[in-house]
A = this chain, B = another copy of it.
Amino acid sequence: MAKKAAANTLTRGYKKKARTRQQLLDAALRIYARTGVAGLALNTLAEEAGVSNGTVYNYFRTREEVLEAVGLELAVQLSQQILVFSEGVSSGAERLCIGVRTFMGKALDDPEWTRALITVVRYAEGMRSALANYLRADLQAGREQGDFDYANEEMAMAMVMSATMGAMNLVVEGIEMEHADRVAAEMILRSLGVSASKARKIASLPLPRTAD
């Protein structure tokens, strides 16, 4: 909402700059998804984004900066997703479950984006920490609420993140499965010490709908 009103008052030059940057990031995501990190050649990127090759360097100083920026972009998109979906839920276990299932849903909806995410998470350290903040809060809440019982928080975070990525990878590789999102979420909840029956119950809750 706020965005639309604001945009009109900004200069067109500003909009153009922002738009080009976004075009570049979008193009980079598409290429990432198709070809992996190695395939992201900057002249290809320029072509895909519909600008000349020199223009890339008005936004990023080196190829490294492009890779970083793509990671950050994905992190931002993720944050928004997560915030939207688990807003208003106070149970840590449920929030985490919603997060996992949302990601799984994304893997079904948008395999391209997902491949890019998986690639970038591996590649860009900074990306991981962006995710980690949300996760850590949910883990701690779940523990205080008596749902989680894990020996070490770092390990718990590593397990949740890698297991989720592994499950998403399964989906984008085309494995057919009923309710893959619930299956994955249930296993992750159990690994955190939630009892089998409670894990199933939480994993089966309907996902909150959003206006989007």
Contacts and interface: CB of A to CB of B under 8 A. Distances in A.
Contacts of A169: 158, 162
Interface string A8-40: 000000000000000000000000000001100
A108 interface: no
Interface string A145-189: 000011110111011011101110110000101001001101110
Which of A38, A150, A155 has its CB near the most chain B CB atoms (within 10 A)? A155
Which of A38, A152, A188 has its CB near the most chain B CB atoms (within 10 A)? A152
A183 B171 CA distance: 27
Interface residues of A, number: 33
Interface in A191-212: 191-193, 196
A184 B167 contact: no
Majority SS of interface residues in chain A?
helix
A188 B166 CA distance: 14
A177 B152 contact: yes
B162 A165 contact: yes
A188 B191 contact: yes
Interface of A: 37-38, 122, 149-152, 154-156, 158-159, 161-163, 165-167, 169-170, 175, 177, 180, 183-184, 186-188, 190-193, 196
27 contacts: A37-B38, A122-B122, A149-B196, A150-B187, A151-B186, A154-B170, A155-B170, A155-B180, A155-B183, A158-B166, A158-B169, A159-B163, A159-B167, A159-B184, A159-B188, A161-B166, A162-B162, A162-B167, A162-B169, A163-B166, A163-B191, A187-B191, A188-B191, A190-B190, A190-B191, A190-B193, A193-B196
